[in-house]
Structure 1
């Protein structure tokens, strides 16, 4: 699947990175120490990475929590990984788009840069809903001029050995792969900043 082509130049340092996500980033079903966000901390010691992901979180929940997080943590970069629970509960597409739009706007107004994660729902929700759901993220990336990070579960979900028994969450064996996938999106490579990787095919 061809993913949205996006290019973004980051500064040399993003001292504080806020992960605003759900169970996929919250180490669901395992110790937080072995989750992909904590593994990134060891790979990015010059950065402060705040994991504000909460299992079961929806876009509405993330929106409610964001103002306090921006005020207390003052991140330079916000990675938004939300929407899966909206999709699993069959929430209206427009509601998801509105919530994510407000999240991106709030983060930008605080002075933070934003990375938006693509999110997909299982095909059993029907091709019409799945297509409309997936399109939200590509549309938002264009409208808000923010980079769209390919969904990190795309290369993990097809492999049972990397998934928990529920078939929805990555297991311990997948965490290193996710952290390696996310690292170049969050790490500048030169004193002048660098173009964040933004292409891919799966």
Structure 2
């Protein structure tokens, strides 16, 4: 894992808002993406995917990012849900905290569950972990005030950030998950990091097959969190 973690820094750095806009990638075949997604029934609970480029679908065609593929996988398995993409490439936790109220206030339907996937860009920019923790804590607190259940998809700091930084950053997600009683996926990229066959041609971002691999690795936890959120 320590050998692979520097790839996280490369992947998320390329998602920074300061990075140049990449050329559109060539379409890549995806067996699962070629299958028509089952229709989402009216009134299905809404999952809001609130995060950075890992939710936004960096350099992927419409329908190939994590939110739409998660929606398709959940519905195909009998878990009715509509997944709304609220990912913004380059977002730090501070930027996401600033747009949270606007995002929630402008949803057509109140989310049943909000997935929070943030913090990687904070780490890449060397922002103090205390600030990352405070911003994520504020986001989760606001969701609690609105009575919207949340779950966290976590990130790990690259070892080249230094042991002090790693020791301060990595515990943020389990600590906040425990504090807010939020389900946690400890490391969102666990199933694809370091596997070039699951990456775009830049070798650092998930391709459609990589997205489907992440979906397969996380959909059961998301389904459990959604079921818990819907419980009386």
Using structure 2 for the length normalisation, give the TM-score.
Answer: 0.71
Supply the distance in 1 between the matched residues of 2:98 and 2:173 (Cα, whole angstroms): 20
**For the pair shown, which has the larger CA radius of gyration, 1 or 2?**
2
Q: Give 1:99's match in structure 2, choosing from 135, 150, 172.
A: 135
Q: Give 1:61's match in structure 2, choosing from 82, 92, 95.
A: 95
Shift of 1:72: 2.3
Q: After the TM superposition, which residues 101-120 of structure 1 pair with which residues of structure 2 at under 5 Å, given as runs? A: 101-120=137-156
* Distance change >3 Å, CA 108–CA 151, structure 1 → 2: same
Counterpart for residue 144 of structure 1? 180
Supply the distance in 1 between the matched residues of 2:83 and 2:177 (Cα, whole angstroms): 23
Mean alpha-carbon deviation: is it higher for 35-44 or for 46-55? 35-44
Shift of 1:59: 0.5
Q: Runs of 5+ in structure 1 lacking a partner?
A: 2-12, 196-202
Structure 1 position 39 matched with structure 2 position 65: no
Shift of 1:162: 1.8
Indicate if the aligned counterparts of 1:35 and 1:175 stay in contact, CA closer than 8 A.
Answer: yes
When the two chains are superposed, the root-mean-square deviation of aligned CA atoms in Å is: 2.3
Counterpart for residue 15 of structure 2? none
Shift of 1:166: 4.5
Counterpart for residue 21 of structure 2? none
Q: Give 2:161's match in structure 1, choosing from 117, 122, 125.
A: 125
Alignment partner of 2:194: what SS? coil
* Distance change >3 Å, CA 57–CA 163, structure 1 → 2: same
Runs of 4+ in 1 over 3 A off after TM superposition: 164-168
Higher relative contact order (CA 8 A, sep 6+): 1
Structure 1 position 182 matched with structure 2 position 182: no
Supply the distance in 2 between the matched residues of 1:21 and 1:122 (Cα, whole angstroms): 19
Structure 1 position 172 matched with structure 2 position 208: yes
Mean alpha-carbon deviation: is it higher for 107-116 or for 65-74? 65-74
Supply the distance in 2 between the matched residues of 1:27 and 1:149 (Cα, whole angstroms): 19
Counterpart for residue 200 of structure 1? none
How many residues in Structure 1 have an aligned counterpart in Structure 2?
A: 181
Using structure 1 for the length normalisation, give the TM-score.
Answer: 0.81
Indicate if the aligned counterparts of 1:18 and 1:50 stay in contact, CA closer than 8 A.
Answer: yes
Shift of 1:188: 4.5
* Distance change >3 Å, CA 154–CA 64, structure 1 → 2: same
Supply the distance in 1 between the matched residues of 2:53 and 2:93 (Cα, whole angstroms): 13
Supply the distance in 2 between the matched residues of 1:128 and 1:20 (Cα, whole angstroms): 28
Supply the distance in 2 between the matched residues of 1:21 and 1:194 (Cα, whole angstroms): 21
